[in-house]
Amino acid sequence: MSTLDTYIEYFSALRRAPGPVWSAATQNRAPHKPILLLAVLDLVARGVITSPVFDVTGDLVELNDLFTGYWRRIVPLAQTSSIAFPFSRLHNEPFWKLIPVPGKEITQAVINNVSSVNQLRRISSGARLDEALYYLMIQPENRNALREILLRSCFSEQARLDLADQAAINGEAYIYSQKLFNKAHQPKVEEVFGQYRASARDQGFRRLIVRTYDHRCALCGVRIITPEGHTVVDAAHIVPWSTSQNDDARNGMALCKLCHWNFDKGLLGISNSYNVIVSRKISANANVPGFLVTLADRGAILPLDHDLWPAQEYLALHRQEWQL
C-alpha cells in the first residue's frame, strides 16, 4: 500500500462521535475533525502552514475563519464549536500528535476536558503532523485526493457538494486577496472585481484588509483577538461597495464594530492629512458618544506599507457624501 493510500485509509476512518444532534449531512456523526482537516488543507495550499508542526500559540484567525466557513455550510446556526475541540481530539488519530507544554502530559482525560483554545494552550503548544502526511499535503494532486476522501467518507452527497463549493470559494478568495495586494502597488487598479463570486470577494477583501492593519482599528486603535481566533475589526469600504463595486485595498480600512458603524453613518471620517474627523452631529440631542469625541484630530493608525494607505480620492468622496 502506498503512503497516500495509508493516509486515505486514516482519513476515511476518523473516529467521530455519533449522536442525535448530528444530521444526515454529517452521517449522524460529529463533523469537527474532518472540517478542521479541510481548513488545514487550505492553510497548506496558502503557504501558511510550512512545516509538519502547527503552532497554536499565535494568531489563529485564518484557521478559525476557514473552519467557521465550512461549519456554517452544513451545521445549523444554533450549533457552534471551538477549533480547540477537534484540534485536541485529533490526537487520537495516528497521524496527529499534540505537543505538550513543558511539565504537562497529554492524557485522554486531559484531552476530554479541552473545550476552548485557552484550555488547549495550557496543555499544548501545537500539533505535529506525520512528516509523510505533510509532504503529501503540499502536493496539489495528493492534497485534492485527501480532501476528496474527507468529503466522501464523512458527509452526505449534498453536504459534499456544499463543502466542495466552500473549498472553491476559499481558494478563489485567497487568489483574489493576493491580486488586490499586488494591484495596490500599481498606479491604478484594474477592474478585476466582477470576475469573482461575491462570497469569494468578501472573504478575499476581508483577509487582505484585516491582515494589512494587523487587526487594529484605524480610527480608535483598538486591537483584540480572542483566543478562539475572532478579531474585533471588520474590513470596511470607504466608498461603499454598493455604489462603487470597488475592492481596491486603498478603498478599505480595518475598523472596529463601533467605529465602522459611525464611519458608515458619516459621524467619523479621515481628513486629507489622515487625521480623524469627528462630526458635531455625534454629540447632538441626547447622544452620549463617550470616548469617540476624544478621537478628533488624532492621527489615523495606518499600515506600515504606504501603498496600502486609504486613497485620498476615496476619503474625499466620503467627506463630501457626509459633509465632513
Domain-located, residue 93:
yes
Picking from 81, 66, 87, 60, the residue whose alpha carbon sits closest to that of residue 226 is: 60
Residue 189, pLDDT > 60, answer no
Domain-located, residue 309:
yes
Same-domain check for residues 130 and 178? no
> What residues contact residue 227 under an 8 Å CB cut-off, 6+ apart?
60, 116, 117, 118, 121
Domain count, the chain: 2
> Is 136 within 8 Å of 3 (Cβ atoms)?
yes
Q: Considering the entire predicted model, what is its pTM? A: 0.94
The chain-wide mean pLDDT, for the chain, equals 95
Picking from 322, 38, 313, 26, the residue whose alpha carbon sits closest to that of residue 168 is: 38
- Which residue shows C-alpha cell 463543502? 163
Domain-located, residue 162:
no
pLDDT confidence bin for 237, thresholds 50/70/90 = very high
Percent of the chain surpassing pLDDT 90: 93
Same-domain check for residues 175 and 118? no
pLDDT confidence bin for 2, thresholds 50/70/90 = confident
Same-domain check for residues 11 and 144? yes
DSSP-derived 3-state class of residue 216? strand
Tally of CA atoms within 13 A in the half-sphere of 77 that contains its CB? 0
pLDDT score for 16: 98
Average confidence (pLDDT) over 220-232: 96
Domain-located, residue 296:
yes
285-305 pLDDT tens trace: 899 999 999 999 999 999 999
Average confidence (pLDDT) over 123-132: 97
pLDDT confidence bin for 187, thresholds 50/70/90 = confident
Same-domain check for residues 276 and 145? no
pLDDT score for 277: 98
Torsion of CA 111, 116, 120, 126, to 10 degrees: 110
Domain that holds residue 149: 3-155
